Structure formats: C-alpha cells, structure tokens
Amino acid sequence: MLDTLAAGDNIKLTITRVPNNKSACDTIERMMRRDPEIKRNLKRAQQLRARRMHSYIRGGRMWYSREKAARVARCENGNAWTMAFTHDIRPDLASVEKYLSFEKA
C-alpha cells in the first residue's frame, strides 16, 4: 500500500494491534499528532497550560509550577486518525505497518 501513495494524499490509519515495544507505540503516537484535529487539541491544551501556569518568587527570582502535558494521541486498539502522506514518514509507516490498517481518505 505504501508504494501506491503519492505525496499529499490523505490517508486514514487505524490501529489494529497494540505493539508490545515502546518505540513502536511512540512512533504511532508521533504520527497521530499529525492529524489536524489532534494538532488543534494539543495547541489549545498548550495555550490553556500557559494561562494556568503558577508563578512564585523563590530565592529572589521567579519560579514556575507547570502542568503535565495532555496525552491526546494514545496508542490504543481501534484508534483512528487522518493525515496527509509525505515521503519523509514512509520509513516510520513501514516500521509500524503490521500494527496499522491503511486506507485512502
């Protein structure tokens, strides 16, 4: 399937099997963050965290208490996302191809 894709094609990916190794899960989550909706949610969460950042003076200088980042993209069975295909992600897709199902969107 990867050989038939051209740059700019929209593809829909679905996780069919959760990988056992952490690196494959990280690769899938990194690709999920290319989905426009997930990207929008992460940007909004980042802006809200910046607004809610608690600052206080300690030792004569400002210190900040920051929230943990939101985990919007999760590597779970059945999760699906849509993204534009580019040739720079071909090796990443090939490495986790056995855990995903592809279709043109």
Element (H, E) at 28: helix 22-32
What pTM value is reported for the model? Answer: 0.85
CB atoms within 10 A of CB 16: 11
Q: What percent of the chain has pLDDT over 70?
A: 100
Q: Given pLDDT bands bounded at 50, 70 and 90, which one contains residue 36?
A: very high
Classify burial at 92, counting beta carbons within 10 Å of its beta carbon; exposed 0-12, middle 13-18, buried 19 or more: middle
**DSSP assigned state of 87:** G
Task: Kindly state the average pLDDT of the residues 88-103.
Answer: 94
Q: Strand 80-84 vs strand 54-58: parallel, antiparallel, or unpaired?
A: unpaired
Instruction: Give pLDDT, residue 6.
Output: 87
Percent of the chain with pLDDT over 90: 88
Asked if the model's pLDDT at residue 1 lies above 90, the reply is no
Residue 21 has pLDDT above 90, yes or no: yes
Provide φ and ψ at 89, rounded to 5°.
Answer: -100, 0
5 pLDDT more than 90: no
Which 8-state DSSP code applies to residue 17? Answer: S
Task: Quote the CA–CA distance of 12 and 104 in Å, as a whole number.
Answer: 6
